[in-house]
A and B are shown apart, each in its own frame.
Chain A
């Protein structure tokens, strides 16, 4: 029904390649996020799925059917834009009904489907209000209503929460996910906000420079990033990178940083490069009296739930640690650093590629 497959999709605008040979599968009923920095090709990919852009090469399949050259209106897909374009002279009911009116749906059915959409979005009370008086959250709900009312097999959403302020965005994230769970429809959601993607998606595809860097469930991408780009884009504060001299051979279980030998997941492949980088998430850094590389505390940020401590190692690498808020830390402290060995990644510095290790074997087993 609502599965989407994109095969070898390529799109160039004159000299600029927006999307490079991308292949993705969105399963029926899945909440799928296209994530990446601005200019990475995520919106172009979405617009090609919608039929608003024609690919330079490649195919798009909707429910197994090739729709690459079909018009947008002939694809059973609803598109929700970042700027919710509502008709200011129409009330909420007429705005939601608009797509059905255009299709010539009988009046009684329009009424019934508009009310159903309003019920799903919990905006029944607003149906007879003018859209110009609505809050931005309600305007976004009406825009969603206009998409829902068509009962499409898939929804494409282009940063629909981008213009809302932080708190409302968090609330709407929860609402959107709940809406998805009620409708069980396929949703493809474009965002540059990794927290939105992490909190809502079943599957995240992270794009960079027109290329899909990694596809997987949020926790998988977070725990086992395929590259330094993924590791630093996902997670806040981003993953810490500590450079060290290689090489690394299959079977190695420690790396040497400064005077300290640090245990890491057993290497399953050797490194091609000699300069390597150890990747450690801030929450996997702990302080000890001795035993690890020394670092000086530069700053602490109290967040209530936790605190973020900024440090600089004797080798001059900056890193951040996320610690419980009740651990006493002062600027100028010089703790030894410990890392949770099982969680560490090792990258090649130039290519940015992760080296396969026991960390990745867990996936195959589990």
Chain B
């Protein structure tokens, strides 16, 4: 197992700068999740660590050793892609054993059997080993491809949206399994996703990328509770936080530089206004079951709040609004700290 360090790394494709002066450190045994929209540079960063791309500037260090000039095979990393690439003519067992049978390794067959068995039981596919991979469901196939990366015990696992082709339920299940695996194997993982729930639940640290730059690095709780700008704030949390011009709440005193309130849906309280003259009016209620999302029109803005479904609030009601611990942002979206 190993730690990963990137030092001032840059990479351009033609005129487009994919990664700009990126530095970060992943301690041994951690899961760093790189989060960002399409085109933020997440996958390029991963490919630079793997050695599938060469940086224009900067260095990659694995366990303190500079591997920037080394080919992928010499770096001892394993990659898991979004699309499972399995050998369709082979059984699950042979697919899992494949990386161990490489002539470079010459591992005895009984050791291979032990390793494959161990990984299969971790992934709960031990009863599928004799099957053709084409006879498996999507979730099982993805488990096999994750398993194929795991049998090798490389220094670092690099995963590029490995769960995104699966449906929501399966994704949530595999997320929990992946975390359990990581804890049991104490591996270092760099994981790329645009799914914020995946980032929040998997990561020991989240690195938020935007246009090739690392905008914030921190634990899920730090990034969620103390975002550096409105972009990071809006990236995490579902439903996303409300961004409301400060003018919508003239009664709340704010520093002069503040242009926007950022307030989490769970921090907005609404109360029915008995005289029918509230600060806003309920536009629409989404029933999500455990909670309802209540959309309230305030001045020119929409404010979304989470509410208990039994609260008796209905569309058209006039309501008063109270914000708990709102964040403040300036006109450029940067945090204004009181």
Contact = CB atoms under 8 A, between A and B. Distances in A.
Do A and B actually bind? yes
Given A234-B289, A235-B290, A305-B237, A299 B180 contact: yes
A362 to B, nearest CB: 10
B289 A219 contact: yes
A352 interface: no
Interface in B228-267: 236-239, 264-266
Contacts of B37: 167
Given A219-B309, A234-B289, A302 B194 contact: no
Given A218-B287, A236-B172, A305 B264 contact: yes
A217 interface: yes
Contacts of A223: 289, 309
The listed residue with most B CB atoms (<10 A of its CB), out of A236, A301, A303, A305, is A305
Interface string B37-77: 11000000000000000000000000000000000000000
Contacts of B265: 305
Contacts of A166: 194-195
Interface string B263-288: 01110000000000000000010111
Contacts of A306: 266
A334 interface: no
Contacts of B266: 305-306
Interface in A165-211: 165-167, 170, 177, 181, 192-193, 195, 198-200
Contacts of B236: 304
B20 to A, nearest CB: 23
B113 interface: no
Main secondary structure of the interface of A (DSSP, over half): mixed
Interface string B166-194: 01110010011001100000000000001
B131 interface: no
Interface in B148-175: 167-169, 172, 175
B147 interface: no
Contact of A199 (B237, B293, B309): B293
Interface string A308-333: 00100000000000100100000000
A221 B192 CA distance: 36
B224 interface: yes
A301 B201 contact: yes
A159 to B, nearest CB: 12
- Interface SS of B by simple majority: mixed
B200 interface: yes
B290 A304 contact: no
Interface string A86-102: 00000000000000000
Nearest to B293: A199
Interface string A218-254: 1100110000000000111100000000000000000
Contacts of B306: 305
Contacts of A275: none
B167 A192 contact: yes
Nearest to A199: B286
A322 B286 CA distance: 19
B201 A302 contact: yes
Interface residues of A, number: 34
A302 B197 contact: no
A235 B172 CA distance: 13
A213 interface: no
A150 interface: no
B289 A303 contact: no
Interface string A52-71: 00000000000000000000
B290 A281 contact: yes
Contacts of A198: 286-289
B220 interface: yes
B221 interface: yes
Contacts of B169: 236
Contacts of A305: 237-238, 264-266, 306
Interface in B213-227: 220-221, 224-225
| Most chain A CB inside 10 Å of its own CB: which residue of B37, B175, B225, B289 | B289
A7 interface: no
Given A218-B287, A234-B289, A305-B264, A310 B176 contact: yes
A177 B265 CA distance: 20
Contact of B220 (A167, A193, A195, A304): A304
A302 B290 CA distance: 17
A283 interface: yes
Nearest to A178: B284
Given A303-B197, A304-B224, A305-B266, A222 B176 contact: no
A329 B325 CA distance: 23
Contact of A283 (B179, B220, B290): B290
B286 to A, nearest CB: 4
Nearest to A198: B288
A165 B82 CA distance: 14
A299 B289 contact: no
Contacts of A200: 286
Contact of A177 (B220, B239, B284): B284
Nearest to A232: B169
Nearest to B167: A192
A303 B200 contact: yes
B43 to A, nearest CB: 14
A177 B238 CA distance: 18
B167 A218 contact: no
A36 interface: no
18 contacts: A165-B194, A170-B238, A170-B239, A181-B284, A193-B168, A195-B168, A198-B288, A199-B286, A199-B293, A217-B287, A222-B287, A223-B309, A235-B289, A235-B290, A299-B180, A302-B200, A302-B220, A310-B176
What are the 4 tightest A-B residue pairs by CB atom distance, in nearest-first order?
A222-B289, A219-B287, A304-B224, A301-B201
Interface of B: 37-38, 167-169, 172, 175-176, 179-180, 194-195, 197, 200-201, 220-221, 224-225, 236-239, 264-266, 284, 286-293, 306, 309
Given A303-B201, A303-B238, 19 more contacts: A166-B195, A170-B239, A192-B167, A198-B286, A198-B287, A217-B287, A218-B288, A219-B289, A235-B289, A235-B290, A299-B179, A301-B200, A302-B220, A303-B197, A304-B237, A305-B238, A305-B265, A306-B266, A322-B290
